[in-house]
A and B are shown apart, each in its own frame.
Chain A
């Protein structure tokens, strides 16, 4: 089931995984988090990773970010090792929780990576990225003064502030209620259209994955592996009510089938 890596030109490949595996040693024996993952993420794509808990989707994202080390296979980011890509500031990472530093204002939080990387024109970058996530006017607020959705938007601005071309998002809207999540999903699509970034997005919501993505990677647990890669044929322009169209429902059904197949594999 894993001969699915599309054979596009290497120049287009931002992330390229070949026979990638990752095993965590634990006291109860080894846990296989990723097994034989073959996948290419091309420039400008919006790729969602979907699957139940323990399917390795977050681990895969963390491996791209050099937060975990693969134990077998190869992984390149922008043609280099994940470690070099990290040092080259190839990606911005958005975590499940906003992880804003409570003693910094929103503007200061967005400035954090700029300070660490020693980038100039801080004010311009802060203003531009806060405008992208619709948080202009909240520069001097502290995180606790913002709602959960606004905090997560601030963390997205922070990930965008140093102009990495790749955005890694690990269930960024998982803790938010559905109304806020719908709103942020459509804002994220607009942001993606404006910035033309490559986005890798982990979720466990089928509608979210189908709504956002140009490519959906379905994963299955124990061992974490890719069971299906679905290229979306939805139009680039996606109003929220696209989710009632037959094309959308057909894609969602295929994702659901992929998830179910992954599960029956276990039994």
Chain B
């Protein structure tokens, strides 16, 4: 027990337990009014406290589903459903994941490209940077439908419109991080390259790029998470293509709160897995580049 408390496990478990208790209590409190109405309609006058609590935790369309209901829905909609079925959360998660990854790849490439231009050309920093910053002040919820509907009108549907929205969000941290990263080489490291009469490409590939790698990974961790948000928001604008965003949308149309919460948790879990994957890639690259452990 003492070992458990000394490590990280015990504090995490305690916080999880507290959240769970709070959640169950909130479910009783939030679902009680509707349950009271239901019981009155059914003519059930004397429902015991224990039974009543059990009822609030097992409604079909609760205001706040209890954790075990969400967990059950996640289990049924992933393991319990054929993966090719439109009812499978794994199917929808895979749609969102592919849009996220494509958008993230495009956004990272765009961000790196812009950063390279900015670092090598002072005029482009003054001309591009205000637009880059302005692009992120526009609410993505306002832009996403225009992109999806606009591209749909010219026949571009499916993965690409959603990926473009992911790209729109994820290029920004990469630009900012890489401009900083590509500028980290010190004056004497650049002077050294000059004494070798190195070409601009050699200065970039042998000095600026490796120096910027830590900044790239920090940016990509932010970028991959907001890529997922971009894909989900893109799906909200087009419910034909499927995806976790569509599950959220249909869930809210039909008052299927359990379905909404299950999709939310899958999205959050997906984001966590993606960020962890970027972190793992970062550790591998760091090791290959001789970073101090």
Q: Which residues of A contact B (CB under 8 A)?
A: 65-67, 86-87, 89, 91-93, 95-97, 99, 101-105, 112-113, 115-117, 142, 144
The answer to whether B195 touches A103, judged by C-beta atoms less than 8 angstroms apart, is: no
Residue from B189, B193, B196, B291 having most chain A Cβ neighbours under 10 A: B196
Q: Which residues of B170-186 have CB atoms within 8 Å of chain A's CB atoms? A: 186
Q: B134 interface residue, CB < 8 Å from A?
A: no
Q: Which residues of B49-65 have CB atoms within 8 Å of chain A's CB atoms? A: none
Q: How far is the CA of A255 from the CA of B197 in the complex (A)?
A: 36
The answer to whether A102 touches B195, judged by C-beta atoms less than 8 angstroms apart, is: no
User: What residues of chain B lie closer than 8 Å to A117, measured between beta carbons?
Assistant: 196
Contact of A104 among B186, B193, B290 (CB under 8 A): B290
A116 to chain B, nearest CB (A): 5
Q: How far is the CA of A38 from the CA of B206 in the complex (A)?
A: 38
The answer to whether A105 touches B290, judged by C-beta atoms less than 8 angstroms apart, is: yes
User: What residues of chain B lie closer than 8 Å to A102, measured between beta carbons?
Assistant: 290-291
Could you list 20 examples of A-B contacts with CB < 8 Å? A67-B195, A87-B197, A89-B197, A93-B191, A93-B192, A97-B188, A99-B186, A99-B192, A101-B206, A101-B207, A103-B210, A103-B289, A103-B290, A103-B291, A105-B290, A112-B206, A113-B196, A116-B193, A142-B290, A144-B290
Q: How far is the CA of A91 from the CA of B195 in the complex (A)?
A: 8
**Shortest Cβ distance from A112 into B: residue:** B206
B185 to chain A, nearest CB (A): 9
**Shortest Cβ distance from B207 into A: residue:** A101
Q: How many residues of B contact A (CB 8 A)?
A: 21
Q: For the complex, would chain A's binding face be called helix, strand, loop or mixed by DSSP majority?
A: loop
The answer to whether A116 touches B290, judged by C-beta atoms less than 8 angstroms apart, is: no
Q: How far is the CA of A142 from the CA of B210 in the complex (A)?
A: 15
The answer to whether B188 touches A116, judged by C-beta atoms less than 8 angstroms apart, is: no
User: What residues of chain B lie closer than 8 Å to A113, measured between beta carbons?
Assistant: 196
A84 to chain B, nearest CB (A): 10
Q: How far is the CA of A142 from the CA of B292 in the complex (A)?
A: 9
The answer to whether A96 touches B188, judged by C-beta atoms less than 8 angstroms apart, is: yes
Beyond A97-B188, A105-B290, whether A116 also contacts B206 by CB under 8 A is: yes
User: What residues of chain A lie closer than 8 Å to B292, measured between beta carbons?
Assistant: 142, 144
The answer to whether A101 touches B202, judged by C-beta atoms less than 8 angstroms apart, is: no
Beyond A96-B188, A116-B202, whether A101 also contacts B210 by CB under 8 A is: yes
